[in-house]
Structure 1
């Protein structure tokens, strides 16, 4: 006897398709959408930026035509996205999709965003102005790399997730530690509300890092062939501030240095590959600690679709 047959109200279904960069999550999501009425909702912190569709590997026109896609490419490069803001936007998108009678599929690789949505995080207190000013002064004098080096000692888990050149996130971590005496990792593990009201299926795509590496290199070369440098050049005209949040992403930061004459294109490419590999490694580590994921290999799209269909069938009794 199912919960619904007893009169209990089932929580609405939510599918989360996750995994490290370069594992083909978009293709797997579209395979699911071809089997049932579904909409894809992004939870990748870089694919929110409208200025970088190539460099952040956002779904192309053909992929977007296969089913509705939400929360992709809507934010300007000079705007900042936070976990709290993502949760607010994602809840709105999920509610909208469910009201249309469609299945929401969260797709991405930003583990903090997913955890924040499903488990909640405590709001960080307001930072006093004097502390914020002192940290920003340090950034301007010493650079974000110095703050990142300190962060590696005080909060290695969070340091591993952000780029040394990311001015905003390194400054944020420093000011939060100074103001509260607690690290960003501590705050991110504190929940101030009940878990999200969904019946959630988590499906993951992954490969051993050694097998994933050539895929990542090929993906970056494809981005360069598709016009990644020209894309970055156009954005630099509109957003010349190198500290704009959109520039802090992997690929964006390396190409920005190239365009500013700090590296050759080959050097930028090599660093882009290196940093992408390091990011994928961090993602694999993060998701390995996430409970209840049903894992598949890249390309097993029909098996992923079968998994979702079977899960929905069991729910419906």
Structure 2
């Protein structure tokens, strides 16, 4: 029997049916879904970021979705703080917390603890911001590929927030993000996790991702972006850095056609899924299933709880 309380972690690349698996578990065990996807926290983009719809939310509670304004920044440290508080609320209701998402760093930070990176001096933060404005995040990412190739492989060249953060940390401490994540003192969250992953070849996932973007556009993704732009048109706002959001904003700003925006959206989604697959392959202790094997996943959760928590 384990003394640490149980949590289930459903992880894997985008578009592999993690939410459906969580709902199947909730049909057998009182449970609440807790988001750990860095894009699905934004309130203005429920369609573009594929947040659970009203029917999925009606099946069981879904928490930490769609609450953050486009102008606000989400970090791993902030996520951990929110997740711990949310998990404790779920446990207080005698429900099983099911963490669902694809942002590997958020889950790693929760289960393994956050590295205590020192505060970044204002002059370094300002200089990095000026470089982002003048050169774009791609220039910082190219440098990151030389100084910290492992971390560079996990983030997109267009990700302003993470490329800037990596540059700031390296300039301020002389250490890479990978070093801090592996050598700093960590305080793990006090939970006993069952990690379940959705495993699929990228070649099999690709056609589904393209179809899903077509569906998002049919469901009003462009109007969603237009409404978000009316309240926040700054392309540097953290919420606009998400895949799909950035491409549609470029179209609405008259920079590219809708067809080009869609092509970039598909291409960038594929690249993101590839990075997610690479990340989770390096994780240990994951029980792998094919998308759609939801009954088998629920069986595993039930037997794991019975064996380890009575």
* Range into which the TM-score falls when normalised by the shorter chain: over 0.9
- Determine if the alignment matches structure 1 residue 307 to structure 2 residue 285: no
Hey, what does 1:197 align to over in structure 2? 190
Aligned partners of 2:154 and 2:279 also within 8 Å: no
Q: Secondary structure at the match of 1:282?
A: helix
Which of 269, 273, 277 pairs up with 2:270? 277
What's the CA shift for 1:246? 0.2
Classify 1:111/1:29 alpha carbon distance in 2 versus 1 (closer, same or farther; 3 Å): same
SS at the partner of 1:39?
strand
**1:149 Cα deviation after fit:** 1.7
Deviations 1:23-61 (A, max 9, x none): 000001000001110000000000000000000000000
CA contact (8 A) 2:116 2:186 kept: no
Q: Count matched residues.
A: 310
Task: Tell me, in whole angstroms, the C-alpha distance in 2 between the residues paired with 1:156 and 1:232.
Answer: 33
CA contact under 8 A between 1:121 and 1:190: conserved in structure 2? no
CA drift of 1:256 comes to 1.0
In the alignment, structure 1 residue 264 sits paired with structure 2 residue 257: yes
Does the Cα contact within 8 Å between 2:4 and 2:192 map onto a contact in 1? yes
Task: For 1:172 and 1:11, locate their aligned partners in 2 and report how far apart those are by CA, in whole Å.
Answer: 33
Structure 2 residue ranges without an equivalent (≥5):
none
- Is 2:121 aligned against 1:133? no
Match of 1:6 in 2: none
Residue range with higher mean Cα deviation, 48-57 or 250-259 = 250-259
Structure 1 unpaired stretches of 5+: 4-8
Correspondence for 1:74: 67
- 1:143, CA displacement in angstroms? 2.0
Matched, 1:294 2:287: yes
Indicate the residue corresponding to 1:59 in structure 2.
52
Q: Is the 8 A contact 1:54 1:228 kept in 2?
A: yes
Q: TM-score normalized by structure 2?
A: 0.97
Structure 1 match to 2:163: 170
Which of these residues, 176, 196, 202, is aligned with residue 183 of structure 1? 176
User: TM-score, normalised on structure 1?
Assistant: 0.95
Q: How far apart in 1 are the matches of 2:106 and 2:99?
A: 11
Q: Describe the SS at the equivalent of 2:183.
A: coil
The alignment partner of 1:256 has SS state of helix
Q: Please report how far the alpha carbon of residue 191 of structure 1 lies from its aligned counterpart in structure 2 after TM superposition.
A: 4.5
